[in-house]
Structure 1
Amino acid sequence: MNSQNGFLISYLKYGENDAVLHCFTEEDGFQTFFLKGMYAKRNKKKALLLPLNQLSFSLTPVKGNGIQTISKFELLKNNDIYTDVKVNTIIFFISDFLNHILRNESKNMSICREIEEFISELTEKNYQAHLVFLIKILKIQGVSPLIGGEDFLDPETGTFSSTAHHQLFDNTISLIWKSILQSENPYEIKIRSSFRKQFLDSILVYYHYHITDFKTPVSLEVIQEIFQ
């Protein structure tokens, strides 16, 4: 019996009662697990299937390259954050985001720590935490912008220059990027609500340039509506 700890990224129903879970584990990075009987009427644990819940899995060994089956699982940490509509929207957006960009990611404890810190920020009602978190993930993956003395971030080259190269990356948005990249405590930086939509759009543009086959999360429209 093998056991792993990790974050639930996404899940889907399989057949009548079963489920397939996508998780990011401390031991092996992005993993896909099969969970039998999850949607059976008497199974109360389906309430634990919430994006970014931190879980402990007991896994049944498999032969060959089959999907590992979860024999049982438990909640590692109870985060009472899913009743807040804004926080819930942020969680679903980020889990949607991570489900795509972490697919080929192997063991990476830095990512696990960042997810944990991000959730901690959400418990404190930090409604801009997702903006900082996405830039911190870029730093972990080694594709964040190079800090320079100029005023405008060029999203294609990942460098700062003296002239604007993209309409979203004006002086104000570029300065927010630079502040987050340079700060030791970026979650403490306050981003004015009037700039958050443009800043999030700029992050998506940067990801399109630097993350292979990146696709805009389908939940983007929802998070933009919530924070208008």
Structure 2
Amino acid sequence: MNSQNGFLLSYIKYGENDAVLHCFTEEDGFQTYFLKGIYTKKNKKKALLRPLSQLSFSINLGRGNGIQSVSKFELVKNNDMYTDIKSNTVIFFISDFLNQILRHENKHPGIFFCIDEFIDELAQQNYQSHLIFLVKILKIQGVAPLVGEGMYLDPETGTFFPSLTHHLFNHETSLLWKSIVSSQNPYQIKINPSLRKQFLDSLLVYYHYHITDFKTPASLEVIQQIFE
């Protein structure tokens, strides 16, 4: 028996009563688990299967290269974010995002802490926290922009230029990028609501350039509608 602490990124119903879970764990990074019987009528724990729930898993040590199975699991930290429509929308977007970009990530305490920190911010109704979080992930991955004297961020090279290179990265948006990348406490930076959509669009452009095989999350349209 092995114990794992992780954030649930996604889950898929398998057959009538079972599920396959994708998680980012503190001990081993991205992991896939088989959960038997979660959808039976008597099993009340299916309510715990929510994106970015922090769960403690007891894992059966299987043989070979098959998917490890969960014998039991418990909620590590409880919060009421899921009753807040804005927070819930952000949670689904970020879990969708992370489920894609962390697929090949091994143990990484920095990323695990960063997710935990982001959830704490969102629990305090910091509705711009996902924008800051996505920049912090770029920094951890080593592909964040290099701050220089230029006024405009070039998303392809990740450097600041004296002249505009991409229409989304105007002076205002580029200055916001520079502020977040440079700040020791970026969650304290206030992003004007009128800038949030363009800044999110600029983040997606940057990820397309710097994260291999990145695809825009399907939940993007929902999060844009919620914050309009």
Normalized against structure 1, the TM-score is what? Answer: 0.99
Letter in 1 for 2:32: T
Question: Counterpart of 1:109 in structure 2: which amino acid?
Answer: P
Correspondence 1:2 to 2:2 = yes
SS in 2 for 1:56: strand
For 1:61 and 1:150, locate their aligned partners in 2 and report how far apart those are by CA, in whole Å: 53
- Please list the CA deviations of residues 60-108 of structure 1 after superposition, one character each: whole Å capped at 9, or x if unmatched: 1111100000000000111211100000000000000000000000000
- Following superposition, the deviation at residue 123 of structure 1 comes to 1.0
Between the aligned partners of 1:8 and 1:25, the Cα distance in structure 2 is 9
Counterparts of 2:126 and 2:167, CA distance in 1: 28
- Residue 197 of structure 1, CA deviation: 0.2
For structure 1, list consecutive stretches of 5 or more residues without a partner in the other structure: none
Letter aligned with residue 149 of structure 2: G
AA aligned opposite 2:68: Q
d(CA) in 1 for partners of 2:57, 2:44:
16
Q: CA RMSD in A?
A: 0.4
User: What secondary structure is seen at the aligned counterpart in 2 of 1:69?
Assistant: strand
Q: After superposition, what is the alpha-carbon deviation per residue over 1:15-60, rounded to whole angstroms, capped at 9, x for unaligned?
A: 0000000000011100000000010001000000011010000011
Q: Does 1:40 align with 2:43?
A: no
Q: Distance in 1 between matches of 2:98 and 2:217?
A: 9
Instruction: Tell me the distance in 1 between the aligned counterparts of 2:188 and 2:4.
Output: 32
Q: How far apart are the structure 2 equivalents of 1:142 and 1:122?
A: 24
* Counterpart for residue 135 of structure 1: 135
Counterpart residue number, 1:167 = 167
Partner in structure 2 of residue 148 of structure 1: 148
Q: SS at the partner of 1:150?
A: coil
SS of residue paired to 1:196: helix
Q: How many Å separate the matches in 2 of 1:77 and 1:7?
A: 11
Q: List, as ranges, runs of 4+ consecutive aligned residues in structure 1 with deviation greater than 2 Å.
A: none
| Pairing of 1:166-185 with structure 2 (within 5 A) | 166-185=166-185
Secondary structure, aligned partner of 1:9 = strand
Residue identity opposite 1:6 in structure 2: G
Partner of 2:68: 68
Mapped partners of 1:29, 1:164: distance in 2: 38
- Specify the alignment match of 2:58 in structure 1: 58
In 1, the alpha carbon distance for the partners of 2:106 and 2:164 equals 36
Q: For 1:1-228, what aligned pairs fall within 5 Å after superposition? A: 1-228=1-228
> % of aligned pairs identical?
71
User: Alpha-carbon deviations, 1:105-143, whole Å to 9, x = none?
Assistant: 000010110000000001110000000000000000000
Scaled by the length of structure 2, the TM-score of the pair is 0.99
SS at match of 2:223: helix
Tell me the secondary structure at the aligned position of residue 117 of structure 2.
Answer: helix
User: Which AA in structure 2 matches 1:34?
Assistant: F
